[in-house]
Amino acid sequence: MPTATRTHRLSTASRLTAAGELRALVAALLRTAGHAQLAESARICTSELVANVCRHTPAKLVHVEVTLADDWVSVYVYDDRPRELPVPPGEAPGVREGGMGLGLVAALADQWGVCLYGGAIPHSKAVWFKMVEGGRGMP
């Protein structure tokens, strides 16, 4: 039998404060929904993905979608610049500007990836991660 899920969508302008705003909202949502043990790791991963949108794309808006199930959570960070794809951890040594980037997401999340939307000529993308109760994202 499929697990019931709840989905929440958050959006803000792509600006310097966006990562802090959205990471705080995601962490609060997880704590309120009974996923307090995953909140800190999800906060860190959300911050990295939102900061990447703000830093590496000219997108005007950042959209975050949080899906909550009984034993897992997923977070999708969307932008409207599918041509600026993230560089997977370990593929571009020495070119990082700032944080730990996707390496940190890969270390904390049980799964992560990139989705392109719009067919042969994509119009948007999402970088996402999933955390499972009892998985990597636990303290």
Domain range spanning residue 97?
6-132
| Strand pairing class (111-117; 72-79) | unpaired
Share of the chain above pLDDT 90, in %: 65
What is the chain's Cα-based Rg?
Answer: 14
Q: Is residue 20 part of a domain?
A: yes
Contact partners, residue 94, CB within 8 Å, separation at least 6: none
* Count of structural domains, the chain: 1
Per-residue confidence (pLDDT) for residue 88, from 0 to 100: 64
- How many whole angstroms separate alpha carbon 36 and alpha carbon 69? 13
Tokens of 106: 């890969």
**CATH number for 57:** 3.30.565.10
- pTM, full prediction: 0.87
Q: Is residue 139 part of a domain?
A: no
Q: Is residue 105 part of a domain?
A: yes
Q: Helices marked H in the chain — which ranges?
A: 18-32, 36-56, 101-108
